[in-house]
Structure 1
Amino acid sequence: MPNDTIAALRAALAHDGAETSDFDLNPETVLPPERALLPAGVLVPVQFGDGAPRVILTKRSSALKHHPGQISFPGGKQDEDDADVTAAALREAHEEIGLPYGLAQVLGHLPAHETVTGFHVTPVIAAIAQPFDIVAEPGEVEEVFTVPLAHLLDPDNFLIESRRWRGSRRHYFTVPYGPYYIWGATARMLRALAQRMET
């Protein structure tokens, strides 16, 4: 089963696809063409063990300036010392959840996602075949938890919700799981992965 899932993920990621955006569900938004976006990478760690594969997610610290308390992937902006966005995602996963270097098997990438905060984020899909001691970085991560991959690949589990933001109504994807409210950029990137796996 793990090999079948890994093969299916690889095949899905090999297809061409369009980039996504926090503005996908808000087509009336006009973005300045000269805007400068910062490159970033997030790791989508699919953990394989005795049971069904699960995706590792984090709940950001409520003390953070940006996106406090939100559900996210381990990751962040590309630093000067990072070779590329994949290296940035792996470094951030090491810092945020204690993922040892060399443990993640990179399977491929989703097209980049533009966030409302000005980042050009590349989701890096990786298989984690061996267990490791998860250590949450106390300054950034309040909690680390997992969600069944099957739940995140089922289009029926995704909802479109909205709220007022900067004077207008903004629509976005959500994919709730138990007590966790997964929404925004994280849910949009997961929806893109689910769409890839459907085809």
Structure 2
Amino acid sequence: MTSDLIATLRDALQGDMAPSSDYDLNPDVVLPEGRKLRPAGVLVPIEVTEAGARLWLTKRSSALQHHPGQVAFPGGKQEEGDADIVAAALREAHEEIGLSPDKVEVLGTLPPHETVTSFYVTPVIGVISGPFEPVPEAGEVEEVFSVPLEHVMELGRFRVESRRWRGTRRHYFAVPYGPYYIWGATARMLRAMAEAVRLGA
């Protein structure tokens, strides 16, 4: 089952997919013309175990200025020294959760996702080779945890929720797991991956 899911995911990443954004559920938002987006890469790290495939995520430190305490993929903005967006995602994952780039087999990427914070985020899907013990980056990452991959591959587990933000009500996807509230851009990118697998199955 797990090997079939990984194979399906690999094939799905070769297909045509539309970009996503934090505005997908908010069509009334008017985006300014000529806005500048900063390229960033996040790693979607999947570990295959005897019990099944699991997806690793982080919980950001509550002391951070941006998105404190939120669930996120390891990743960040592309730096000048990064060869490409994939290299940026792998570098950030190494820094944030202690995952060495040489332990990751990159399956492919999802289309970029535009965030309300003006980042153009490319999700890089990778499978971890061998056992992995996360090492959270002090001051940046409060916790590193995993969820069953199948949990976020079922579209029925995603729900639309809303909250007031900057004076207006904004809608977003959420796919909670136990005590972890996975929402916003992270949930939207996971839904894009689930949609790609469904179409490719």
Asked if residue 142 in structure 1 is aligned to residue 142 in structure 2, the reply is: yes
1:40 corresponds to which residue?
40
- The one-letter amino acid of 2:60's match is R
1:95 corresponds to which residue?
95
1:108-119 equivalent positions in 2, closer than 5 A: 108-119=108-119
Deviation digits for residues 167-197 of structure 1 (CA, Å, limit 9, x no counterpart): 1000000000000000000000001011111
SS of the residue 1:53 aligns to: strand
Q: If the length of structure 1 is used for normalisation, what is the TM-score?
A: 0.98
Q: If the length of structure 2 is used for normalisation, what is the TM-score?
A: 0.97
Deviation digits for residues 7-35 of structure 1 (CA, Å, limit 9, x no counterpart): 11111111111100000000000001200
1:33-112 equivalent positions in 2, closer than 5 A: 33-112=33-112
- Which consecutive segments of 4 or more residues in structure 1 shift more than 6 A? none
Structure 2 Cα separation of the partners of residues 30 and 101 of structure 1: 39
- The one-letter amino acid of 2:114's match is E
Deviation at 1:48, TM superposition (A): 0.7
2:166 corresponds to which residue?
166
Structure 1 Cα separation of the partners of residues 29 and 84 of structure 2: 30
2:15 corresponds to which residue?
15
Q: CA RMSD in A?
A: 0.8
Runs of 5+ unmatched residues, structure 2? none
Deviation at 1:162, TM superposition (A): 0.3
SS of the residue 2:49 aligns to: coil
1:5 corresponds to which residue?
5
SS of the residue 2:147 aligns to: strand
Deviation at 1:2, TM superposition (A): 4.3
Runs of 5+ unmatched residues, structure 1? none
Deviation at 1:129, TM superposition (A): 2.7
- The one-letter amino acid of 2:90's match is L
Deviation at 1:93, TM superposition (A): 0.3
- The one-letter amino acid of 1:4's match is D
In percent, how many aligned pairs have the same letter? 65
Structure 1 Cα separation of the partners of residues 2 and 159 of structure 2: 28
